[in-house]
Chain A
Amino acid sequence: MDETASYPPIEPSNFDLIVVGTGLPEAILAAAASAAGKSVLHLDPNPSYGSHYASLPLQEFTSYIESQSSDSSPISRPDTDSGYTRVGIATRPMYSSVEITSYSAEPLEQSRKFNIDLSGPRVLMCADAMIDLILKSEVNQYMEFKGIDGSFISDGEGNLENVPDSRSAIFKDRKLSFTEKNQLMRFFKLVQGHLEAAAGGGGGEQSSESRSISEQDLESPFSEFLSKMGLSPKLKSIVLYAIAMADYDQENRDVGKSVLKTKDGINRLALYHSSVGRFPNAPGAMIYPIYGQGELPQAFCRRAAVKGCIYVLRMPVNSLLMDKASGSCKGVCLASEQELFSHKLILAPSFAVQSPFPHSSPDTRDFRLRNTTEKLARSICISKHSLKLDVANCLIFFPPRSLFPEQVAAIHVLQLSSNVAVCPSGMFLTYLSAICEDDDQGKKLLHAAINVLFQAPVSGSSANNNSAENQSETGDARPALLWSVLYTQELAKQFQDVLDNIICTPMPDGSPYYHDLLGATEKIFQELYSGEEFFPKSTSSEEGAGQELED
């Protein structure tokens, strides 16, 4: 901690907003508040940017995951003379059941050539609001992107089939029958007609009504609507899990988990379809940032810095300063013992504040995020060969029940290659994730998928007995695993602002893109600064340097 000690004191000591943690929601909020003219201090106890949204070298990745898997108790501090109660901050574990298997020393030897996403598998949909925000906030000038080559759907037995996600993909598809091609083409047309009607007919002529989907259908489960439209089970599966990217089994209603309504399914389809072809040289609907998703929080932090936000990494916050009379938070006390003041505070989700007021109900005062019943099982696999011949970067979907009958959640898989600078050349990085109820269920799911996709070079995979049938085949086309990790991540979906001037940001969600996360982040901004514009259009050009010097 001698590095923190060597910092000069932070000046000034009063801010409009103090943000702790540099994950993507925190970074966007810091940049948005700075762009709105607020004075912002942005702190992070870590030596690098990104918190739970970082991209890290292999070694740093494992130590981060492990460091965030255990509780830390808050350091109790004496109260100050300034009339504030100091309330300790602890970190709560966000990851559990971390299981690392190293079959080869090679990946670790090149640790720094990896940029491993903590929030993977994740891509950017070309037409997503996230891309619009990247452009509006001008962080695109700090980043570069590459296209994802394609999407595949697994039959659970090792076959990866193309996802026919556009007119040309349907046309070129070799696995679909003529009837199926027709069905899917008709369905896409119907959706397009509906969207055009919805966009065109605000209150005017309703001539296109026949092309709209009825209100009743829009409220019905998407899977039922797909059946009604005559889609075969195979096509339904493709639309539900590889295009609308539903998390849960949509057809087994007993599962009772989130059922996708037709209107939401249609919106996801619309996002997907308007993503295809938005950028002429992107081969599909999705792109990926070179050097990893962790570039995003860094780019937003730089944007914030350009607008005046002060950055201090390696600076833990030890306690909050609470007003004795009102009980509201007035600021923070740093590891350096410096006290800094702000009426608004944003905390990354891994921080927990101990209840300072024994007289109030613990439920409301202890504003740790309530653990939802859902968790996210995640895995990262390193191999030397691609899962699909001649494909560098791709998404793969395992629909529910494709691996075993009790599989209720879909598994999202993203393979990346060295051409997006996330691993050494000649290696491939594969992310897997699935929503689960507990660690064991999550592990079982991901192990089953990993066994279908990879072969473990030694018999060290004692836990993997789900699909041993194709293990011994000669000429096994599955790439051999060099290194893998499995772990479970807490899903703190809903932020709570029980102490009304402290807000917690969300953890990375289970979606393969940013739509919901950005929505939640924008909502936090509106709560903080209602009426202020979320990133007003910048007046200065990119050649902003020196403007301050001219006055």
Chain B
Amino acid sequence: MPSRRRTLLKVIILGDSGVGKTSLMNQYVNKKFSNQYKATIGADFLTKEVQFEDRLFTLQIWDTAGQERFQSLGVAFYRGADCCVLVYDVNSMKSFENLNNWREEFLIQASPSDPENFPFVVLGNKVDVDGGNSRVVSEKKARAWCASKGNIPYFETSAKEGTNVEEAFQCIAKNALKSGEEEEIYLPDTIDVAASSQQRTGGCEC
């Protein structure tokens, strides 16, 4: 089925403010990191070509654009996601405890056809901080939670040092691709208002 959906995969990144969502995306796509934290402004989505079994796919990774700060992400953000990445900060218990809320929020808003098997990936970020001494969420605890939610793949990452970022996103891409989401029948003949818009003529076309 030669649909657009087969080559474009939508990935959304969720988690509390300040856990490193934008930094992770940026490290993966642009191989860049900045220590200066600013609440996300100007981040929309990043795209990256990935190859899988001899085929090229475009991974479209959506940032929350700061709308997560007051839990004000609209349903449009969640729609049509092929994979949902849940990020917490291993140095913040609250950000870990909130994973459950983010997961539930996603399932309610996106209402995937098969919620039991929808692909999530969990990232425990900022493992580099203070040489690991300020860590409050153990790997064991995180893995136990992931196991209890249907064996969600888990990675410990450092967006700053690039640790595990490539591996995590490869897993994300693979899961997005295998996502059981039904090929929506309406996608093949959607209208691309940007690509196909021809110059407007003043008069009648008739």
Q: Which residues 409-439 in A have Cβ within 8 Å of B in the complex?
A: 418-421
Nearest CB in chain A to that of B77: its residue: A302
Q: Does A531 contact B (CB under 8 A)?
A: no
Q: Mark B166-206, 1 if CB is under 8 A from A, else 0.
A: 00000000000000000011110111111011101111111
A177 CB to nearest B CB, Å: 19
A48 vs B73: C-alpha distance when bound (angstroms): 9
Question: A298: which B residues are within 8 A, CB to CB?
Answer: 74-77
A545 and B70 contact, Cβ closer than 8 Å, known pairs A134-B193, A192-B203: no
- The CA of A112 and the CA of B189, in the complex, are separated in Å by 24
**Residue among B25, B197, B201, B204 with most chain A CB within 10 A:** B204
A196 touches B34 (CB 8 A): no
Report if A279-B74 is in contact (Cβ < 8 Å); known contacts: A196-B203, A273-B204.
no
B44, CB-defined interface residue at 8 Å: yes
User: Which of B29, B32, B41, B191 gathers most chain A CB within 10 Å?
Assistant: B191
Bound-state CA distance A48–B38 (Å) is: 26
Give Cα A420 to B185, complex, Å. Answer: 10
Which bracket fits the contact residues of B?
35 or more
Bound: A338/B177 CA distance, A: 45
For residue A415, give the distance in angstroms from its CB to the closest CB of chain B. Answer: 16
Is B74's CB under 8 angstroms from A301's CB? yes
Given contacts A48-B75, A49-B74, A295-B76, contact A306 B44 (CB under 8 A): yes
Shortest Cβ distance from residue A3 to the other chain B in the assembled complex, whole angstroms: 8
User: What string of 1s and 0s marks CB contacts (under 8 Å) between A344-357 and chain B?
Assistant: 00000000000000
Bound: A544/B63 CA distance, A: 10
Question: Given contacts A170-B206, A270-B202, A548-B40, is CB(A279)–CB(B65) below 8 Å?
Answer: no
* Chain A, Cβ-Cβ closest to B198: A278
Interface contact B206-A140, CB-CB below 8 Å: no
B63 proximity list for chain A (CB < 8 A): 545
Whether the pair B206, A305 counts as a contact (CB closer than 8 A) is no
The chain A residue with its CB closest to the CB of B47 is A543
CB pair B189–A274 under 8 Å, yes or no, is: no
Q: Mark B67-83, 1 if CB is under 8 A from A, else 0.
A: 10111101111010000
**B30 contacts across to A, CB distance below 8 A:** 546
CB of A406 to closest CB in B, whole Å: 35
Report A's interface with B, CB cutoff 8 A.
Answer: 3, 7-8, 10, 48-49, 112, 127, 131, 134-135, 140-142, 144-147, 166-168, 170, 185, 188-189, 191-192, 195-196, 198-199, 269-270, 273-274, 276-282, 287, 290-291, 295, 298-299, 301-302, 305-308, 310-315, 418-421, 540, 542-551
* B→A interface (CB under 8 Å): 22-23, 25-26, 29-30, 32-34, 36, 38, 40-47, 63, 65-67, 69-72, 74-77, 79, 111, 184-187, 189-194, 196-198, 200-206
When A and B form their complex, which 10 residue pairs have the shortest distance between CB atoms, in order from nearest? A167-B206, A545-B43, A192-B204, A549-B34, A273-B204, A546-B26, A305-B65, A298-B76, A311-B72, A313-B72
